[in-house]
Structure formats: C-alpha cells, structure tokens
Structure 1
Amino acid sequence: MDCLSPGSPAERVVVMFGSQLGKTEAGLNWVGYVIHHAPGPMLMVQPTVEMAKRYSKQRVGPLIESSPAIRERVKPARSRDSGNTVLSKEFPGGILLMTGANSAVGLSSAPIRYLFMDEVDRFPGDADGEGDPVALAIQRTANFSNRKVLLTSTPTIKGFSRIEAAYAESDQRRFWVPCPECGEFQILEWAQVRWPQGEREKAFYLCPHCGAEIADYQKGAMLENGQWRASAEGDGRTAGFHLSSLYSPHGWTGWGDIAVEHGQVHKDPPRLKVWVNTKLGETWEEDADRIDGEGLLARREDWGALLPLEVAVLTAGVDVQDDRLEVEIVGWGRDEESWSIDYKVLWGDPASPAVWQDLDNLLLHRWPHSRQVPDMAIRAVALDTGGHHTLKAYAFCRARQGRRVWAIKGRGGMGVPIWPRRPSRSNKGKVPLFIVGVDACKEAIISRLRLTEPGPGFLHFPMDRDAEWFSQLTAESVVTRYHKGRPIREWKKKDADRNEALDCRVYAMAALQGLVSMGLRLNRDVARLAEAPLKNAGPASASATTIKPKPQRRVIRSNWM
C-alpha cells in the first residue's frame, strides 16, 4: 500500500500471495485512498464481468457505505443517475470503473490513471479476439506519466502464470522474520514445518539456524518485527511481493492447519496443485510426459458383478456423435477415488428417437452393491450438447431435469472452473446449459492416471476395458502455442486418434462437481455407506443394525399416462 501511494516511485506493484492473505483488501484500501486523497480515473478488472458485478456488490459497495469520507464523495445510487451503477462509481475528480477481463469493450475505452487487476492468473488468454486482457488494460494507462498499476493473484502453472512472470520482472521482495530464540532473520519455508509422527495438527516451525521449535502462537511477534527485503534489481519501476500462508497470523491459518490439509491432498495431484498455489503461493510444475495407454492395461481389476465396497455415488458422462452415443458410468468413493463401472456405445442415428430411448433405459438402470443397501441409481448425468445433434440433446435433457440429466458444453482455457456457479439459458433449447471447464477436468484425470497406489483420486478399471479404450483415455496431451507472444496451453490429440473415452470421463467428473455444488458431501456419504454390512457377510447378528431396502418405484411410460 505504501508503494501504491503517490509518494512512491514504483509504477507497478505485483502481489503474488497465497489465498486469504489480504491482497484484495489492500487493493480495496487503495480504491478508498484514491477516492479520498488522490482522485483520478480508475479501472478495476476481475476475471469475468459476472465476478466484477459480484465484487462491486459484496466488496466495493460495503467499502463506500462503511466510510463516511468515501460515502460523501461517491454519488448516491439513484434510478435516473448513472453516476453510481454496479460497474461505475463517480466521485469528484475521478471515476471508478469495473469490468471483466473477458470484455474487450470494458478494457479499451477511456484513459485510466489507476489500474487494479485482481487474480490475473484467472484471466482468459484472449478478450473477445482482441488480445491479452492485461496488455489491453495497461495500454489504457499510457497517457499518464504518474500512473499506478496493481496486479494481484495466487499463482497457477509454472511457465503460464501471469503473476509469476510479472514478479520475475520486479525487485522480488520476500518477508524476512526473526527467530524468537536466536534472532536470526529467515524466510518461512514449507520444508521447515515439522510435526510429531501422526499428529500434523501439532505442527511447529524448526529454525534452520538454532534448531528451536517455534510454536504457532509465537508467529505474531515474528511478523511484527519482520522486514520486506528485495532479492533482485528488477526493472527499477516494479515492486514485487511474495507471501505464503505460512505467514498467516495466529488465529487465522496455523501451521497445523496447513500441515493437516497437506496430509489430506499430498497423494492426489489435482488437489495438491491447489494446495501449492493457494497455501505456498507458488506455481505448480506439471509432468509433461504423455501417459502410455497400453501400460494401463496392467491396472485392470476384477471386482465382480457388484459395485465395489467404496462406491457411494454414481455419475454418467454422455458424448454425442453422428452415428452413436457413448456413455461411461463412474462410481466415486472417498476423496474422489473412482471406478469405471460401465462403458457403452449405443449405435444409432441421434436424429431418431430409438438411440435416445436406449440411453434413457441405460440411465434408469440400477446397480447392485456389495453392501446390504438398495441397488444404486445414477445420481447425475452430464450430456454434451456442444457438437452433434444439439437440439435433440437439449430436448432429452429438458424432459429429465428432475433426474439431474444436465445439458453441458465444454470450454477450454485456464481459469475456467469445472462446474459453473449457475447455468446459462441463452440457447435455442431454452434449457439450463452448464459450461464445463474441460481443461481443468483433463488435468485432473491425466494427473491421477499417474498415481500407482489406490487412494485419493486413484482410477480403477475393470477387466473388460481393452487397449483401444485406454488409448482413447490418454489420447490428448498438453501443447504450448504462442499468441501475440503469450504462451497458451492447449489440449491436443493427433488427427487420427479418437478421444471419446476421455470426453466421457470428463463429463462424468463434471457431473460429480455439479452434485458437489448442490451440497453433496462425498466423504460423508462414503462414511455412511461403510456402516452397512456386506452382502456376503452372512446373516446379521441380532444386535447388528441392518438397512432395510426401500421399495423401488416402477417407472411406467406411456402416452396415455
């Protein structure tokens, strides 16, 4: 915040922090300072326009209302006064504009003196075909010699992280804190966090200089006496700051909390990646080697005709082709360990109703479980509508919304979440359409295929999967292309390869995340299921608690009904 004041020579401030460490709050304080003390045109950019609107209502609005000095300067919101809208706040001598990085119009209009870009690693690679949104926004500050630019973000993938690249151009400041025992200054590093065997919640910090075991409650004094120290010369105009959650004040996130979370995710690469990004504030370096599909044949298992013991939820992914529908039913267990329960290719012209009826019959099927519970039904289905026979796919989903048969459309690119906060209805079918982040799904699936031991995220396959199916599952890999000098990550396959098996798994995984967004707690369901006795355990004792199957409803379909 000192570097953002007019008294600082810094022109650009880069903040590469872990999550929930105050980087956005510092930006909000800067907004208030500009309105009160140094008015001028200001632009705040969020990853999307929707996020900008939500940010305005949840953060900027309360900022204005809570401060009398700011409230008396910002025009009150009135229906006939455009000076105060959701994305525009006027004040004497300036204006605060808010937009999304996905809107080229919002990024390339009036000149701007102050520019605040939040979570830049979540920005799309291109804004409406007009180029990199960061470059478009910075270009708007070119007319001001006293401009200030603030970039904040938790980092993402090494080599593709905007905030990492910007931090590398800065003076690269780190926060040095003294040991309460020996007084030696140091940067807090994850390698120095230790804990008693099996008791991660009791984690402490081991001083590398004197070997003292520093408790979490001692962190306050260390932070109070800490110092920002630059480690590079930089370009002379950019001040860069890096901070991990290890510095989070006592009472917020403790070393024990971070260690416990690491213990939960360290075996599952997709979740470990999030931990590295959000807790350590560091980029994730991925293994770029392509997986050998034939090598996965040795992983096949024979679990019989019943669902495996650990399967608590079933989802399905449906891929629509010109002459067939392909479907995978996936069982999910604790920490998203998964089992490929069934894979069907339903041949037929999707323009006719017959193949859709076959799909409906498959989705209504119930699978017997290894435990004494009712036969398990599919909880959610994600059906791709973005390619072939879109209107037929819409119609199928529209009639089955109550069964959670969801119409989805895949979208690539970094920062696109696996499952959206809400669906879109601006489509010809007038159905809720969920935009699925297929790249995030593929990264998770390919990372988990590299796991060698059952556990969190591990993928199990039955004996009937052949080499062609595994080849489809591993058909795509990440390639890098450059657009106007910026590296873009893309998932590509060879022209002759097929990838339907991977697409179906992506959609089944998206369906699970859709259930999570509705309140599903997978691990809780797994724990409840584990209380049921096994089917092959013999007669239950008089003291044992058994689960009585509920009567199954018959689904009768006829025109008369």
Structure 2
Amino acid sequence: MVMMLDRGMGQVSRIPPLPPFLTPEELVADALPLLDPPSRVSVTDAAERSLRVPIAGRWGGYDRNVAPYTVEPQDISQSRRFKGVIFVGPSQSGKSQMLLSVAAHAITCAPGPVQLIHMTKTDADAWVEEKLDPAILNSPLLAERLGKAREDSTFSRKRFKGMRLGIGYPVPNQLSSRSQRMVLLTDYDHMPQRLGPKDAPEASPWGMALQRIRTFLSRGCVFAESTPAFPVDEMMMRPASALEPHLLPATTGGIVNLYNEGTRGRWYWQCMDCDGLYEPSFARLDYDRDLDPGEAGDMAVMVCPHCGSVLSHRHKPEMNRRAMSHHGGWLHEGREVDEETGQRRLVRIDDPLVRNTPFASYAFNGAAAAFSSWSGLVERYETARRAFEISGDDLDFAGVHYTEIGVPYQRPKDDDEDALTLEMLQQHALSLPKRIAPSWARFITVQVDVQGNRFEVMVMAWGEDGQRVAIDRYAIHQPPDHAPNAKGDDGKYRAVDPGRYAQDADVLAELADLVFPVDGTDRGLKPLAVVIDFNGPKGWSDNAEKFWRKQNREGQGGKFFLSIGRGGFNQRDRVWHEAPERSSGGGKGRGIKLLNMAVDRLKDSVIAALGRTDTPVGAQHIPQWMGAEHLAEHLAEIRGEKGWELKKGVLRNESLDHSVQGLAMAEHKGLNRVNWEAPPEWCVAGLTNLNAVPLARPNDAESARDVPTPEIPRKINFLRRR
C-alpha cells in the first residue's frame, strides 16, 4: 500500500502503485510485430485461433462446423476480386457473428482501420457492451492487443496494436471524410436508406461506405448483412427464370436489391440418395397444413425435389457440414448458359466464369439455419398464416417471412379480394330490418365520423368471434337548440358546425342512451361504447375534448371514446389507448386519452371481413336496407405500398372509416380475448348483459327509444360483479 500527504485532503492511502518503467528495448520489441506483413490466414482460420464465443452459457472456441454457411462469405471479404459482400438471411443464423470474425481477423492478421455501423447509436452501444467487450475479455489474443489507455476502449472505438475498430451508426458524418479498409454494415434494412437532409439526401449507407474504402484499392471491402425488411415491389418485380435462377423479387429498398446486383449465391445440399443438388428452403418442407401449428411443425420434413427422399430435422447439421466439403455449398450464377437445357450454369465463387460483378452476394434460407428448428419455424409460420386469414392483418405473417425464413414478403393475392365488388356485397346482404340487432348480437358500438357540416353515424351489432353487421346509418345535420345561432330569423336550423361551435357536439350525447331491439327476443341493447373521430375540421379537436370532459363530469366518460388514426403498416400495435403528448393548444393533454388506431392494418382486416361470405367467424355482413351510396363507401379505397388510399375520383369513405372505428373499439374492449363459453358481462347473451334492456314490444325499433332502463336488473348485476 502506498501512502502520501495532500494539503487539501490530508493523508491519502490505497493509491495503486505506478506501472514499472519500460526500457527502450522493451518498447521496440512490443512494436516490432506491427511491422510484419499481413498474415495469409483466412477469416475463419483466424477466428478459430483467436476468437472465443458464448456456447450454452460458457465461453468456448469458435467452430466453423456450427454454421458452415458463414465460412465462404466471411472469407471472401479478404478477396482482391470483390469490393463488397452482401448476405441476406434470417435472424439467429450467425450473420452478425461473421462481422465479429472479420473484425477479429483485422485485429490479429491484417491490421488496418475497420468501421462497424449499427442501426442506431443505442444499438451500437448495446452491441459493444453485450457482445464486443465480453468477446475481447474472453479472447486472450484479442485482449492482449487492446490498448491499455482509457481512451483506447470506448463505446465509439477500440484501439488495438496497429489497427482501429470504430463503432458508429448511419449518419453522414460517420460515413464521410474517413478512409477505412473495411466497413461492416449490420442490420442494413433497419437503417435509413437515404442519409442526409430529406430535401437533399447524400447517398445510401452502402454507397457512402463504398466511398470510404477507395483509398485501400483492392484491399478494401464493404460487408453488409441483414434480414430483409422491405416488401416486394410489384412494379419492379420480374420472376426468376432459367437465365436468372437465383434472382430474388425486387423490393422497395434494402439489401435484397443489393443482393440482386451481386453474384447471387445460394446454399445447396446434395441428396444422399440421388446426389442431386437442391436448395433447402421453407417451400420444400412437407407437413400437414390441416393440423394444429404445433403438431404440423413436429411432422415437418425436407423432401428432395429430384428423388423424393425425406430428411428429418436431425439430419440438418450433417447436411450443412457435407455442403462445406463441396457436397453442395454455395453456388453462384455463372456467365454461361447450358446449350442443352437453356439454364444458367451455377458455379463456385472462385470460378473465373462467375457472374461479372464487383459484389459477392449470398441469400440464405431459414430452413437451413443452424439455430432454428423446422418444428418451430413451421409452427410460427402456420400460426401467423391462420391469424392473417382470420383478421386480414398480415404484419405478423410478413414478419415470419423476413426474420424466420429470410425472404422478401409479397402479400398473397386473394381472389375474393379482387372479386369484392358492390354487386357481390349486395348478393350476400343480410336480411334484417333497420335499427334491429340480429338474434346473435352480444354488444353494440356506435361510430361517429366528423365532417365540416354534419356528423356521420353508423351503429354496429357484434356477435361471437367478431361477426358483425351495421344496423343503422345516418347523418346528423341539425344542432341542438341551445347552441349559438341554432335557428335563424326565419326559424330554420343552421347546419352543424363542429369546428366553430363546441355546443354542436351535444347532439352526440344521446347516442349512448339509444336502445336497439334484438331480433326475436324481448330485450334490447344499449351501446357498449360510442367512438368519435378526434380528427375533423379546424377547431374540432378542441371541441371534441370539451365534449368528452363534459360527459366525463356527468359520469359517462367510460361510454365515449375519441379516436385518432395512425397510418402505415408498421405501427407498434393495432389499437392502443393513451393520453396525447400535447393538446392542440400546446399544453399537456391531461386527463384525456385517445383511442389510437393503426388504420391501414385495420382496413386490411375490414376488407378481409367483408369478403368472408362462407363463414360467420370474423365476417362483416352488409344489411339489405343499406343504400348503394353508403355501401360503396366500404370499397372506396385501394391498398397501396404505404397504406390505403382513396380510389381515383372517389370522395367519400365514411362507411369504411366507421368499420375501422368499430373494429378498433371492439378490440380495445377485448374482443380477441373473449372466451365465448364464459364471456364477460358486456357481451353475454340475455338480460344479464350489462347493456341489456327488457322491452314490452319486441322488434319495435321506435318504441325502444321510450323504454327506460330498469333500475332493479342493473342493481342485481352490480351486486353480482361485487
């Protein structure tokens, strides 16, 4: 222990000893290895010598046999022939490990500046803390070369003997004015695809990275890996052919398009029965699609397309190892065409006749991934597929294609969707009087779309498994008597003006008290909820908030909801109920919540429900009484790349918006979680329903307005809930 005196602090102890002095000879001996020329060692060989990786909770040596398909892509990064390497594949397949192996090679064998670009600064910091630092600490050869000064090991860089590893994120200043021998781009499709100001973007991350390696001539390389995250661009797509057998469908952006510019390598297995080569893909997995997802996954097998021989999942590691020894492996598109078959010849990456391009590219299918099972892959695929067929929302189904299989996603063409016309809806219309709920109705929702001179209203009845039908549709044009200037000098009412007069919204208060008879029964149903559009003419959002606060003071706040649409197919949820960040006046939105709706995802579900004429499950029926104008509003929009848009020449879509509001409200209340054998009180059948009202004259829509809600049944229900 060292002790010293300090005038300000007094006696100070526990001062660590100073490091020993180094002689000039020792300094020179330490620096001499930096003068060695780059070692002629492959990336994979270097990784097995120097890199340790986590294996089942412990650290062990890197083993090429675990994920043999990563060997060629990471080794080819040192080739003088290619300026870039592109790898498209599923998550949990070892993609990011390749970048760490390339970095380890640069540290131990070929010193030079390397930069690794993550999706965001937060992800970069997390990768350093959770992956890079532990790998260096547990790999003695890497730890030995790491500088000992404090500034040698930070979140943004690691200084090793003779080389610098920079860790950044995709912004122009990270990919500008720096020379790098290697630039590594991870999760490329989750980066901004254009860097710089929106009005004058500089280039893509890939393009800017290529500029950084120019100084190093043929020794420079850009390595990009990612799961695909962009959908198929149907306008640019061309099908794979005998001349382009490995072409992936063009996407709206991202790494798939980079892959198509390269050598287009695919991973092949060689059948042990017929020696035929084939790509192990999800499409070649055979299983019974009628079984439950878990059972279907357990029976999944791979079928050889040449002889029909079957492989179970336990054979996958062996097939991958055999492929590494040229019983299959990576095959790329060549420049020659077989004269007999008319097909493009497939060649190895080192073949002089490989496709003439500066980029080596690889597309890997999740069916061959080392860290996923066929049973889990099929189970997740089938679960997402069936949910998509029921709801029409394909977000999870697309996610399985991107992250589990590793291929770009194209929304399936639905013949029923193409045939969804006004005539078809009229053909399958439900015969039911207006303002009468069907016998299967369990709850009622009321939707209000706000226009500049009217409130458009739709009432929907809901049954088991999401079955629903509109039971009323009308517009409110007249303001309440107490509204300012409600009547003119001539005694006529003006049109409602929701943005100008807050009192005009009071006409909506009575919607919560309406009663709708249930067909063939002696009861009616009051609305479970009234959902009102928060968007509208200028000034309406403030007036809508005033209306809700007034209803809340009168004890009706739980009946009324204000909805707001959120566009795009990648919203975090379908429906969420939370306070707005700020009110339109600039202050905090205290005490009020908005029903946020992922409108494009919900419109997918509505259109799918309208076309579901062969089953009541999740079906949205059209009533016979609905006029052609309101009926056509359901089909007013067309699905585009970024969302649903009004068809050319069409102006009104209120019925579609109403349907979205109703579905959002039902899902928020818990429609998708209901156990219909023991449903909650808000959707139970009979008079025990929280919103049920006994009627003296069944099926009389007009008399239902005059029947007060009895107090005794409500008290009984209240006591039962307690």
TM over 0.5: yes
Residue 299, structure 1, aligned to residue 428, structure 2: yes
Q: Which one of the candidate residues 148, 159, 162 is aligned to 2:222?
A: 148
Residue 89, structure 1, aligned to residue 156, structure 2: yes
Query: 1:242 — aligned with what?
Result: 363
Deviation at 1:476? 1.9
Structure 2: which 5+ residue stretches go unaligned? 1-69, 215-219, 234-250, 324-328, 335-353, 478-495, 688-712
Matched letter for residue 467 of structure 1: A
Q: Which one of the candidate residues 63, 66, 78 is aligned to 2:134?
A: 66
2:512/2:526 contact within 8 Å kept: no
Query: 1:264 — aligned with what?
Result: 386
**Which structure: larger Rg?**
2
Matched letter for residue 494 of structure 1: K
Query: 1:216 — aligned with what?
Result: 313
Query: 2:286 — aligned with what?
Result: 194
- Count of matched residue positions in the alignment of Structure 1 and Structure 2: 513
For residues 391 and 533 of structure 1, do their structure 2 counterparts lie closer, same or farther at Cα, with a shift above 3 Å needed?
closer
Q: 417-426 or 191-200, which moves further after superposition? A: 417-426
Residue 205, structure 1, aligned to residue 353, structure 2: no
Matched letter for residue 296 of structure 1: L
Find the residue that maps to 2:211 and give its secondary structure: coil
Question: Normalization by structure 2: what TM-score?
Answer: 0.57
Query: 2:263 — aligned with what?
Result: 171
Deviation at 1:236? 1.9
Q: Which one of the candidate residues 511, 514, 527 is aligned to 1:362?
A: 511
Query: 1:161 — aligned with what?
Result: 252
Deviation at 1:284? 0.7
Matched letter for residue 168 of structure 2: L
Find the residue that maps to 1:385 and give its secondary structure: coil
Query: 1:17 — aligned with what?
Result: 89
CA distance in 2, matches of 1:444, 1:523: 17
Matched letter for residue 166 of structure 1: L
2:265/2:361 contact within 8 Å kept: yes
- Percent of matched pairs sharing the same residue: 17
For residues 45 and 57 of structure 1, do their structure 2 counterparts lie closer, same or farther at Cα, with a shift above 3 Å needed?
closer
Deviation at 1:339? 4.3
CA distance in 2, matches of 1:433, 1:180: 60
Query: 1:473 — aligned with what?
Result: 634
Question: Normalization by structure 1: what TM-score?
Answer: 0.70
Q: 174-183 or 110-119, which moves further after superposition? A: 110-119
Residue 98, structure 1, aligned to residue 169, structure 2: yes
- Once the two structures are superposed, the pairs formed by residues 85-484 of structure 1 within 5 Å of their partners are 89-92=156-159, 93-98=164-169, 113=180, 114=183, 116=185, 118=187, 120=189, 129-130=198-199, 135=204, 138-139=207-208, 141-145=210-214, 146-159=220-233, 160-162=251-253, 163-179=255-271, 181-195=273-287, 198-199=290-291, 200-201=296-297, 202-226=299-323, 227-231=329-333, 236-249=357-370, 252-254=373-375, 256-257=378-379, 260-261=382-383, 264-265=386-387, 267-268=389-390, 270-271=393-394, 275-277=400-402, 279-280=404-405, 281-285=407-411, 287=413, 291-302=420-431, 305-306=436-437, 309=440, 318-328=448-458, 339-340=469-470, 343-347=473-477, 348-351=496-499, 352-362=501-511, 378=528, 381=531, 383-385=533-535, 388=538, 389-396=540-547, 405-412=561-568, 415-417=570-572, 419=574, 425-428=581-584, 430-431=588-589, 436-446=597-607, 449-454=610-615, 458-478=619-639
Q: 104-113 or 292-301, which moves further after superposition? A: 104-113
For residues 237 and 194 of structure 1, do their structure 2 counterparts lie closer, same or farther at Cα, with a shift above 3 Å needed?
same
2:637/2:653 contact within 8 Å kept: yes
1:155/1:161 contact within 8 Å kept: no
Deviation at 1:297? 1.8
Query: 2:660 — aligned with what?
Result: 506
1:320-354, CA deviations, whole angstroms, 9 ceiling, x for partnerless residues? Answer: 32123334455677876654465453433213344
For residues 120 and 197 of structure 1, do their structure 2 counterparts lie closer, same or farther at Cα, with a shift above 3 Å needed?
closer
Structure 1: which 5+ residue stretches go unaligned? 47-51, 481-487, 537-547, 554-561
CA distance in 2, matches of 1:26, 1:94: 15
Deviation at 1:41? 4.1
Query: 1:7 — aligned with what?
Result: 78
CA distance in 2, matches of 1:435, 1:110: 44
1:284-343, CA deviations, whole angstroms, 9 ceiling, x for partnerless residues? Answer: 1565958533432223224674466486x8766543321233344556778766544654
1:111/1:140 contact within 8 Å kept: no
2:227/2:403 contact within 8 Å kept: no
For residues 274 and 251 of structure 1, do their structure 2 counterparts lie closer, same or farther at Cα, with a shift above 3 Å needed?
closer
2:638/2:645 contact within 8 Å kept: yes
Deviation at 1:425? 0.9
1:474-515, CA deviations, whole angstroms, 9 ceiling, x for partnerless residues? Answer: 1122468xxxxxxx7772433452122223333444556666
For residues 122 and 45 of structure 1, do their structure 2 counterparts lie closer, same or farther at Cα, with a shift above 3 Å needed?
closer
1:74/1:89 contact within 8 Å kept: no
Find the residue that maps to 2:615 and give its secondary structure: coil
Q: 441-450 or 375-384, which moves further after superposition? A: 375-384
CA distance in 2, matches of 1:445, 1:359: 25
Query: 1:483 — aligned with what?
Result: none
1:164/1:283 contact within 8 Å kept: no
Matched letter for residue 409 of structure 2: T
Q: Which one of the candidate residues 523, 529, 546 is aligned to 2:679?
A: 529
Query: 1:540 — aligned with what?
Result: none
